[in-house]
Amino acid sequence: MRIEVFENGALFRVWTPAKINLFFEILGKRPDGYHDVETLVAPISLYDRLDCYFFESDEPEITLECLDADGLPRSDVPTDGSNLVAKAYRVYCEEMKKNFSYDKFPKVHVKIFKQIPTKAGLGGGSSDAAGLLSVLKHRGEVRVPLDLLFEAAGRLGSDVPLFLEEGASVGRGRGERVESFELPKMWATVVKPSFGLSTSEVYRQYSTAIRAPKRSLDDVLGLVLRYDGDCFAEFMAGQIFNRLEEAASHLWDGVQLWKSTLSSFPETLAAQMSGSGTAFFALCSCEENARRVADAVRNLRFHDSAGRFVGDVFVVRTL
């Protein structure tokens, strides 16, 4: 996550990456209503940008704008207190008051330039929230311990702590127990169909319909650590897994269509839905092959009413 400072500290600009879930297993439901999960996450070279303007103020306050990459307003992302970025600001202030008796909070206005698709399973909102937490820590007069920042991130959502790590990471529990995990870089084509799914609906479908033997993330991590071959992407193509794919397929028939379509291209090593969907990624051996897959996807024409139309297509590299 890259942060730059402008206007004598009045403007902090941060680029917040999307992610793909290379492995995602659900262990069971917790008493607090969340699910225990195990996931291997790789951030990718697809970014939102947050411009954070700071002003002197007697009371903590945050205001938001959401714009597209060209600076035009977007209406599909909330800019009120329900946005995770606004929640991140409130949680940070609460933690500072509780742990350091700190109460000198500035007013902040955040312009969110969205490039990461919403309802995609790519973690855009969580990454944006982690981005503001990182900016506040970077800017603040008090040195905030990293474990406190992770605790604050965990209060916001399962994916937020994952974005505080640089590079790939393993998430356990609700996702709040995070450890870094080094992975070789890989190229992929990311496709976000026009149709979106609700994360809560996908989990609800999992809870009511899915009964299958669990797969072990630790087994996969062990294989990764022992791998010494020449094409890591080809090896990783045999290890990727997402438990939520089956649940999502009960809600939308586009899951199987997109997975089979992406898998049909000769340049694709393996294809999978990311998170709770509806974005998919196709692992490729090199940038050229990823671009070929992207071109092939852009040429697709689906003529139906099931929400399977091509939306956004990106060629990315894991970070």
Active site residues: 19, 159
Q: Report the candidate in 218, 213, 206, 146 with the shortest Cα–Cα distance to residue 181.
A: 218
The residues near 1 (Cβ < 8 Å, ≥ 6 apart) are 14, 15, 16, 17, 130, 131, 134, 163, 166
Measured distance CA(237)–CA(247) in Å, rounded: 21
In contact, 162 and 37? CB cutoff 8 Å: no
Measured distance CA(195)–CA(278) in Å, rounded: 7
Measured distance CA(58)–CA(81) in Å, rounded: 19
**C-alpha distances in Å from residue 2, one per residue of 45, 151, 163, 235, 240:** 12, 21, 12, 30, 28
Tokens at residue 124, please? 């855009």
Residue type, 258: W
